[in-house]
Amino acid sequence: MMIENIFPTPILYDFVSDNEDIKYDIDKIIDKVDFNMIKGWGDTHYISTDFKSNPNILKEYGLVKLSKEIDKHLGNYCSALNVEKKKYSMISWFTKFKKGNYGHVHHHSYADMSGVYYYKTNGDDGDLFFQSPNQNLDTSKCYTNISNSWVHKPMEGKILIFPGWIRHGITTNSTDNIRMSLSFNIIFEDKGYE
């Protein structure tokens, strides 16, 4: 007998090299970053930009070490997927979650890949969760024990890269700790379409 798990969703998670150096670079600039909530999202969480000008906070603040780490892990992810890492553009932004903040369920469908790097967290201040792309699991009693979501606990120095289309969110920060991360979207410039 064989069971095939079809339609898997590959998600990379790893830890950056030289996390202390990367954190030091961010420590030097983080007080200059202006955080606001996005109108129309409600009181979800604070973000460093309004997305209107394709920002790249990594480039804006010269965070070269973290940019190189993202590029390295993107290469590893592409290799695991057996696809060529092509030239890409990236937008990036910081997020801040105070007590009571959360991230609504959303996706980045225009991005080929999305990701997050955890800068400051106590590990209990808001989990990242992914929703199954198969929203019909609960329609059959045979599959109700298969989870419709997958939770990933934040850890300082951890990086995740995942498909931009997968729906995800962040659970409510119920601690007094302020959780901060850097999120990014990767858009390949040559998608190979004719």
φ/ψ of 44, rounded to 5, equals -80, -65
How far apart are the C-alpha atoms of 152 and 130, rounded to whole Å? 8
Mean residue pLDDT of the chain comes to 90
pLDDT (tens digit, 9 = 90+) per residue, 78-92? 999 999 898 999 999
**pLDDT value at 193 more than 50:** no
Q: What is the pTM of this model?
A: 0.91
pLDDT (tens digit, 9 = 90+) per residue, 94-116? 999 999 999 999 999 889 999 99
